[in-house]
Amino acid sequence: MNLKHLALAMIVGSSILAEAADLPKRVLVCTTTMGYRHPSIPYGEEALAAIDAASPEFEIVTWLRQPDIQVPQAPKPPRKPGDKNSAAELEKYNTAMAEHKKAMEQWNKDVKPEADIKAAEFNAAMAKTLEALSPEALQENKIDAVVFCNTSGALPLPDPEGFANWVKSGGGFIGMHAGSDTLKDCLPYTDMLCGIFDGHGPQVPATLHAGDKEHPANASIGDIWTLSQEEMYRIKNHNRDLVRSIWFMRHDPNDTEKKGFFPVAWVRGLGDGRIFYTTLGHREDIWSIDSNLPNRINSVETATQFRNHILGGIRWALGLAPGSSEPNPTTN
């Protein structure tokens, strides 16, 4: 090849690279659940679709949604009374338990065989859906980031360790709320996320403090972010030496006398990958900006801030916005 041809090849190659760099980043969103299914998931999907539509730098190319298979559920037993309940309340519970026993006998006889068949169909369909999360499929489909929007339970990932390694090799991962109540017994996932759901109390007003007010996931909200009401998670197995705090509380969400550091949102660099997780996203009015949403407690402004919080985290995880992932364990 002479110098003229070499120069032309370099120009063409540079042009192809430039075009590839200009292509929108490709995002996969998963909203499947094997545990509790949040009623706010449709609002989360609506919000993410709106964020996608307004963001030319990336596009949601794949949605992994719940299989449309209804599995009959066994009757739930009555709640057991506490030690301090009255004799009348205990008698009421015993009567309810006797009725539950009869209902279970009937369910086992008439419904359970069909429920078992439907459960097997559901599990097979879920496994088929989540094949898109294998490292091979993610690479083949050129996915840049995966979003777990209120996923829950023991999702049948085809290769959990491979998924974590995909993130480590340069993928982005974004999780909201019950994303930490997902795959809780799967060490590759929980180690990657650096936090596991450890319960919650009643929904409460919450004052959040910024761990990094310059980070895109702060969404330019500033030092303090006040929520009128949200279900605030407690998190365990959270190593502050590995993450950068974005938002946190200075007391237990449901016990103002219990002071300390209670994580709400953080980012993490893992190898060449980037992880953003927020415990927020339980309530419909956190996601929705519809001013006519029934039973709204959080304002539309708060919901807009939350969407910007999510947008900033997604853009950062995709490498589209600058922000540090350097751990800040002394933040208080």
pLDDT for 4-24, tens place per residue?
A: 444 434 443 444 343 445 689
Q: What pLDDT does residue 7 have?
A: 42
Cβ neighbours, 10 Å, residue 121: 13
Least confident of 9-23, 157-171, 249-263, 282-296: 9-23
Mapping DSSP to helix (H, G, I), strand (E, B) and coil, where does residue 213 land?
Answer: coil
Residue corresponding to tokens 């559901």 = 122
Q: Per residue in 279-321, pLDDT tens?
A: 999 999 999 999 999 999 999 999 999 999 999 999 999 999 9
Q: What pLDDT does residue 332 have?
A: 87
By percentage, how much of the chain surpasses pLDDT 90?
86
Structural domain contains residue 108 = no
Report the alpha-carbon distance of residue 228 to residue 95 in Å, rounded.
Answer: 40
Q: What pLDDT does residue 22 have?
A: 65
DSSP label at residue 166: H
Q: What pLDDT does residue 82 have?
A: 77
Amino acid 329 reads P
The number of distinct structural domains making up the chain is 1
Contact of 310 with 209, CB cutoff 8 Å: no
Q: What pLDDT does residue 26 have?
A: 98
Task: Write the CATH number for 44.
Answer: 3.40.50.880
Q: What pLDDT does residue 79 have?
A: 87
Of 244, 171, 256, residue with least CA distance to 206: 256
Structural domain contains residue 322 = no
Least confident of 21-25, 213-217, 251-255: 21-25
Structural domain contains residue 77 = no
Task: Return the sign of the alpha-carbon dihedral for residues 66, 195, 62, 40.
Answer: positive
Q: What pLDDT does residue 188 have?
A: 97
Structural domain contains residue 134 = no
Query: How is 96-138 classified by DSSP, letter by letter?
Result: HHHHHHHHHHHHHHHTHHHHHHHHHHHHHHHHHHGGGGSHHHH
Instruction: Tell me the longest C-alpha to C-alpha distance in the chain.
Output: 98
Report the alpha-carbon distance of residue 280 to residue 164 in Å, rounded.
Answer: 23
Instruction: Report which of residues 98 and 81 the model is more confident about.
Output: 98
28 has pLDDT over 70: yes
Residue 112, token pair as written in the block:
């359970």
Amino acid 135 reads P
Domain that holds residue 205: 22-67+143-317
Report the alpha-carbon distance of residue 51 to residue 59 in Å, rounded.
Answer: 9
Beta strands in the chain, from DSSP E residues, in sequence order: 25-30, 58-64, 145-149, 172-176, 196-200, 204-210, 224-230, 233-236, 244-252, 255-270, 273-278
Q: Is 259 exposed, middle or buried (0-12, 13-18, 19+ CB in 10 A)?
A: exposed
Q: What pLDDT does residue 322 have?
A: 98
Instruction: Report which of residues 87 and 197 the model is more confident about.
Output: 197
Structural domain contains residue 3 = no
